[in-house]
Amino acid sequence: MSTAESAIRKAKSLIAASQYGHAQKYLLDFLIDYPGNRRAREVLAEMDQFKRPDNPVYGPAIKGFLKAMEHYNNGRFTFVISIADAMLKDFPADADILNLKGVAQLLSDDSAGGLETLRFAHRYHPNHLDVVMNYANALQTSNEDDQAIEYYNKVIAMQPALPQAHYNLAKSLTITEKVEEAIEHYKKALMLNPDYEEAWNNMGICLINLGRFEEGEEAYRKAIALSPENYEAIRNLADTKALKAGDPVLDEVNTLLKRTDLSPINEARLHYALAQVANQDGDTPLFMEKLEKANALHRIHHAYDFAESRKKFDRIRQRFDRNEAAVEVKSGDRSCLPIFVLGMPRSGTTLVEQILSNHSDVDGLGELQFMTAIISPDVERDEPHQLTPGAIRDDYLGRVAHRTDSRIFTDKMPLNGLWAGHICLAFPEARIIRMKRDPMAIAWSNYRTWFPARGMAYSNSMEDIGAFMQAYEALLDFFQERFPDQIYTCDYEALTEDPAGETRTMITWLGLNHEDGLVDISTNTRAVRTASVAQVRGEIYKGSSAEWKKYEGYLKPMINALKA
């Protein structure tokens, strides 16, 4: 008896026993290995006749699925997952059940579980539109944007007129620094749905990233016109400095602030917008009042406890000490030259990357999340597995290969300093540029800047900023003492005072040939997705490190925290 005949016989015996779900999975498993088998597909299609409410097996399953959907529509995702798990015992490869469970897991902040469920669903149903779409969403939620792009493109090939697919694809394209391509897909989403306010807002962000400020402002205003309650678009508009006294949008802001049902994060966005307007008007007391209110509300939304950061920093040292004893990657490998630009956020990392990416041999990749994705899970485990330098290297380079084929590239994620020691072990040929700047200039810039990421929650409190900065710089000192030849200190103030001289010294240390025009950052048209987007579109600016002194009277807690 052939393999195919045996498989068909087995499936039919399961169908005869009313084990329809197991028969389906058995046939799908067979078709993964033998996708061209026509008879197996015919038997699968024949099983549709049993999917009726009066069927003693399918009937209860249909009722259970409808009950799960009722819980889903009411936001009771734990009940959805529980019902789905029970149903999967009888229907282990059902597309709709797996899809519903996976989405419920994602909405329950279980991104790992949702990804696993939807990957399993996609294995059996690679052409099921909802499964493919939600699998891409799970990849995006898990910061696997390079893979997400592949599956969003597959969805669009299946259903070109789906605005959400173009929108989600554009989000992942933005993360992977393909900003111009992202704008094109936001435009396609808006052609299909002109009232897609989130697409207008996100397209505005992309336009700002490219230095197209007027177009970005227009996109934000369209988002707000479609929905005056688009709090994020209001905050984004304020960040462009286009929101001024007398603007009708401000009337809407003040009306919204009278509501009693605002969430802390939305109220924070409104106060932040008013802070920017007050600062432009030169009203320092009102600026500080609104900024402090915005940060206090943001802190409610993103709760932060420095003690947890302290534990994390201590654990990183412990795990690094363990890794340091592991066999290092052999030095002398020049197949690539990663340049990591790191330090505190707002210390000048964007400026340095703009200078370096002006070099003909260097590809600027922006703020990559890769090192955190690779190393952080091991640090968070109570009982870590042995994450070797070689494993870190292979994983990182595998991810980078999706972004560039350049041998020399920059990764300017500021908080990669957490992993500086691991980087030095995994990449003996790598170069790390550590940014140094006046501590008060950094602290003040962190406090006044809106950071949406949970990992930046320390920036919402003057005291927390001081404590975090000191601990982070101490960790960097710890790594630099061990790897002095791989870590170069770049002084931000010196760089802005003598850009040509400091750049020449840095380029020489990197082992690159000097080129003219490196410090002319105004000609660099690459997208900048950081809070420094406006600053790096002009000439290098001197004196910014002294701006905090205008607000010194309001910053005593910050000053004291940095002295502690």
Residue type, 301: H
Predicted confidence (pLDDT) at residue 105 exceeds the cutoff of 50: yes
pLDDT of residue 488: 97
Cα–Cα dist 555/558, whole Å: 5
Q: Which residue has the higher pLDDT, 540 or 132?
A: 132
Say if residues 558 and 388 touch (Cβ distance below 8 Å): no
**Binning pLDDT at 50, 70 and 90, where does residue 520 land?**
confident
pLDDT of residue 352: 95
- Lowest-pLDDT choice from 27-41, 220-234, 465-479: 27-41
Q: What is the mean pLDDT of residues 107-120?
A: 95
> Mean pLDDT throughout 192-197?
97
Q: Which helix (H) or strand (E) holds 364?
A: strand 362-364
Q: Is the pLDDT of residue 353 over 90?
A: yes
Q: What does the pLDDT read at residue 294?
A: 97
Percent of the chain surpassing pLDDT 90: 75
- Residues 251-261 pLDDT 10s: 999 999 999 99
Least confident of 54-63, 227-236, 275-284: 54-63
Kindly state the tokens that stand for 440. Answer: 């008060």
Q: Is the pLDDT of residue 200 over 60?
A: yes
**Mean pLDDT score of the chain, rounded to an integer?**
91
State the average pLDDT over residues 91-115.
Answer: 95
User: Does the reported pTM lie above 0.95?
Assistant: no
Is residue 466 pLDDT above 80, yes or no? yes
Task: Classify residue 47 as exposed, middle or buried by CB count within 10 Å of its CB (0-12, 13-18, 19+).
Answer: middle
- pLDDT value for 303: 93
- In this prediction, residue 537 carries a pLDDT of 46
The Cα–Cα gap between 97 and 82 comes to: 11
pLDDT in tens, 114-133: 999 999 999 999 999 999 99
Answer whether 205's CB lies under 8 Å from 216's CB: yes
pLDDT at 529 (0 to 100): 58
Q: Name the nearest CA neighbour of 200 among 164, 161, 172, 226.
A: 226
What are the tens digits of pLDDT across the range 486-497? 999 999 999 999
Residue 342: strand pairing partners: 434
The tens digit of pLDDT for each residue in 39-50 reads 888 888 888 888
pLDDT tens track for 122-173: 999 999 999 999 999 999 999 999 999 999 999 999 999 999 999 999 999 9
Higher per-residue confidence, 130 vs 531: 130
SS (H, E, C) 503-557: HHHHHHHHCCCCCCCCCCHHHCCCCCCCCCCCHHHCCCCCCHHHHHHHHHHHCHH
Q: Residue 534 pLDDT > 70, yes or no?
A: no
Tell me the average pLDDT across 100-104. Answer: 97
CA dihedral 25, 40, 57, 101 (to 10 degrees): 30
